């Protein structure tokens, strides 16, 4: 389960510690995300605070179709766009659409980076041979034959090792709740 979702549910039920957990877990990432929209870190910090203020006062309904982070970042994006609209009341619709597209691209990059971090962290849990073969193939870009030579394995051993390593990685990622959907 998404920890942010459970913290938010606890907050809605009157437990203020839930809100504290949300702020602790998401404030920095949200600030950096908002900075990508407004290109001003001080303003991004204010918008982050405004986002949490809206979360506290309006208590919007969370639908578990998406992660809590997506829910929170959407609120933050709306806060930032509202700010930009007020600031640049003469801005054209195309300018706002460009901001939205830039923000979507930034969110996409952020999610990709978070996935990479999760994969790297999970690789450390695998046994040495599995970690080594996956690293050689997917991070160093070696072919199966090249990786087999490095690891002193024959083609059949390498094929089996790669299969077992991928299965072990997938199993560990599933335990972490890793989402495989494409962006």
Spatial distance between the Cα atoms of 183 and 165, rounded to a whole number of angstroms: 25
Q: Kindly report the CATH number that applies to the domain delimited by 1-114.
A: 1.10.1740.10
In order of 135, 144, 146, 173, the CA distances from 141 in angstroms are: 8, 9, 10, 21
55 closest CA partner among 69, 41, 43: 69
Give residue for tokens 């959907």: 181
3 Cβ contact partners less than 8 Å away, ≥ 6 residues apart? 21, 25, 68
Residues in Cβ contact with 102 at an 8 Å cutoff, skipping those fewer than 6 apart: 36, 37
Query: pTM for the whole thing?
Result: 0.49
The CATH fold of domain 124-183: Arc Repressor Mutant, subunit A (1.10.10)
Q: Where are the domains of the chain?
A: 1-114, 124-183
Q: Are 151 and 101 in contact (CB under 8 A)?
A: no
Question: For residue 48, which of 34, 65, 68 has the smallest C-alpha distance?
Answer: 34
**One digit per residue, pLDDT tens: the chain, 183 residues?**
456 777 878 888 887 888 888 888 888 888 888 888 888 888 989 999 999 899 888 888 877 777 888 788 888 888 988 888 887 665 555 555 666 666 666 677 777 777 777 787 888 888 888 888 888 888 778 888 888 888 888 989 999 999 999 999 888 888 877 766 543
Euclidean distance between CA atoms 139 and 41, whole angstroms: 33
CA 73 to chain centre: 11
């Amino acid at each position: 389960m998404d920890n942010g979702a459970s913290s938010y549910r606890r907050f809605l039920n009157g437990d203020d510690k839930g809100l504290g957990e949300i702020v602790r877990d998401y404030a920095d990432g949200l600030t950096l995300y908002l900075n990508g929209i407004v290109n001003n870190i001080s303003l991004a910090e204010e918008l982050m605070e405004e986002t949490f203020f809206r979360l506290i006062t309006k208590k919007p309904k969370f639908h578990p179709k998406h992660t809590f982070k997506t829910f929170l970042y959407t609120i933050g994006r709306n806060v930032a766009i509202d700010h930009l609209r007020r600031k640049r009341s003469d801005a054209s619709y195309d300018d706002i659409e460009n901001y939205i597209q830039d923000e979507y691209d930034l969110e996409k990059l952020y999610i990709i980076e978070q996935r990479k971090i999760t994969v790297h962290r999970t690789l450390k849990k695998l046994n040495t041979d599995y970690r080594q073969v996956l690293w050689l193939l997917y991070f160093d870009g070696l072919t199966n034959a090249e990786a087999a030579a490095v690891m002193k394995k024959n083609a059949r051993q390498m094929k089996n090792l790669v299969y077992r390593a991928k299965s072990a990685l997938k199993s560990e990622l599933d335990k972490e709740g890793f989402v495989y959907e494409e962006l």
